[in-house]
A = this chain, B = another copy of it.
Amino acid sequence: MTAETMAEEKARASSWFRALRDEIVAAFEGIEASHAGPGAAGGPGAFDVRETVRTAQDGSDAGGGLMSVMRGGRVFEKVGVNVSTVYGALGEAAQTAMAARKGLPGMAEDPRFWASGISLVAHMQNPHVPAVHMNTRMFWTPHGWWFGGGADLNPCLDYAEDTADFHAVLERHCAPHGQDLYPRYKAWADEYFYIPHRGRARGVGGIFYDDHCSGDWDADFALTQDVGRAFLAAYLPLVARRRDTPWTAEDREAQLVHRGLYAEYNLVYDRGTKFGLSTGHDPDAVLMSLPPLAKWI
């Protein structure tokens, strides 16, 4: 923990999140361009990119980001990739939530914060291709800094092979940072992505972590970078494997109902969504994760 400004670390982290965003966006554009399976006649989807602005309650600048959304692609029905760097003073509610979780004495006296990260949610046209979520971020306050993030797979039609492969890639990318990391962060994802009122997980898990601070910023940043790198390595093979499989009306129905579950999770429980909605971030950017079409029967 440190009370320094950490200007250089912040710049390195936010640049990295932006570079990762560029790499992911390019990879997804490549998938759209190369698609020759179901829906190929429609032509490749393109990202709609716009800057987002966060405004403090007193109207002052509080950061912003870049929201990139592709809608109605041939492979991606809706995918959003957000990067943002936001700062200001934490409101009372956010202070209380953070104090309950972390302690952080001093937050009430000096409630400044800075946060930068990338978040991504993909809802796919083909019900055989799993939906996916990835997010990594650095959080700073004068009283401490930490990293958080993770990725989880949300298939509506389960393939044990896909689940195993996705987890194996995440595990491999965590391994250099400590053998205990993957099992701990997998267990955390199982707990975090659980929907209590439904008594079930929202998907087949992945990894999740928050408040990660070993005291060694470079080491912790390196882990977060590897989690970011793991994403494309874990997900692209699943898209390649499933995107040409034909689907039925029943598969589509299962997909729409599963998306309802996903929306329930995000709106009722997701920490990032709650934080974004309650601290004045652009609601369209915060809620970019919501499915293009969802069903509740």
Contacts and interface: CB of A to CB of B under 8 A. Distances in A.
Contacts of A3: none
A292 B287 contact: no
B286 A296 contact: no
Interface stretch (A4-12, A145-153, A236-244, A256-264): A256-264
B197 A277 contact: yes
A249 interface: no
Interface string A266-297: 01100000000110000100110011111111
Main secondary structure of the interface of A (DSSP, over half): helix
Contact of A292 (B71, B78, B264, B296): B296
Total identical chains:
2
Interface in A191-230: 196-198
A178 to B, nearest CB: 35
Contacts of A268: 267-268, 277
Interface residues of A, number: 24
A71 B293 CA distance: 18
Nearest to A78: B296
Contact of A294 (B71, B277, B283, B293): B293
Contact of A283 (B197, B283, B291): B197
Contacts of A294: 263, 293-296
A295 B293 contact: yes
Nearest to A294: B294
A175 to B, nearest CB: 37
A78 B291 CA distance: 20
B296 A291 contact: yes
A211 B267 CA distance: 27
Given A267-B268, A293-B293, 9 more contacts: A78-B296, A256-B293, A263-B267, A264-B267, A264-B287, A264-B290, A267-B267, A268-B268, A287-B296
7 contacts: A197-B277, A197-B278, A256-B293, A263-B267, A287-B296, A292-B296, A293-B293
Return the 4 tightest CB-CB contacts between A and B, nearest first. A267-B267, A290-B296, A197-B277, A197-B283
